[in-house]
Structure 1
Amino acid sequence: METETVTEKSLRRNLYRVLRKTGVNRDNICLTASFYEDLNFDNIDWTIFIHYLERIFNIRINDDELNSFSNVNDTLLYLRGELVFSSN
């Protein structure tokens, strides 16, 4: 159980690190933050975000999956699923 907590904290910390690399202000990062409305993502932000997300988490994200990311929590849920899937 404690390992899950550490993993969850690490996952969230790394996601927030990716958002910071994209230029998002730390104060604006929360699970409910919308990429378009709250974080003001544009095409360049998405490109940078996906680049770092794939690099840091060692995953590949296709366009269909990317369209399901409307807020930070959606991305976190996706990452949980990807990392569980890739560890099996």
Structure 2
Amino acid sequence: METETVTEKSLRRNLYRVLRKTGVTRDNICLTASFYEDLNFDNIDWTIFIHYLERIFNIRIKDEELNSFSNVNDTLLYLRGELVYSSN
């Protein structure tokens, strides 16, 4: 159980680190933050975000999967699924 908690903390911390690389301030990062409305993402932000997300988590994100990322929590849920899938 503690391993799951550590993994969850690590996952969230790394996701927040990726968000910071796009210029998002710590104060604006929360699970319900919308990429377009709250974080004001544009095409350049998305490119940077996806680049670091793939690099840090060692995953490959398909373009059609990006449509499911409307807020930070959606991305966290996606990462959980990807990391569980890739570990099997």
TM-score of the superposed pair, with normalisation by structure 1: 0.99
For the aligned residues, what is the CA RMSD? Answer: 0.3
- Structure 1's consecutive aligned runs of 4 or more residues displaced over 6 angstroms after TM superposition are none
- Counterpart of 2:26 in structure 1 is 26
Q: Deviations over 1:19-64 (max 9, x none)?
A: 0001101100000000000000000000000000000000000111
Percent of paired sites with the same residue: 95
The number of aligned residues is 88
Return 5+ residue gaps in structure 1 as ranges.
none
**Equivalent-residue separation in structure 2 for 1:64 and 1:42 (angstroms):** 17
**Equivalent-residue separation in structure 1 for 2:36 and 2:18 (angstroms):** 16
TM-score of the superposed pair, with normalisation by structure 2: 0.99
Return 5+ residue gaps in structure 2 as ranges.
none
TM-superposed deviation, 1:66: 0.6
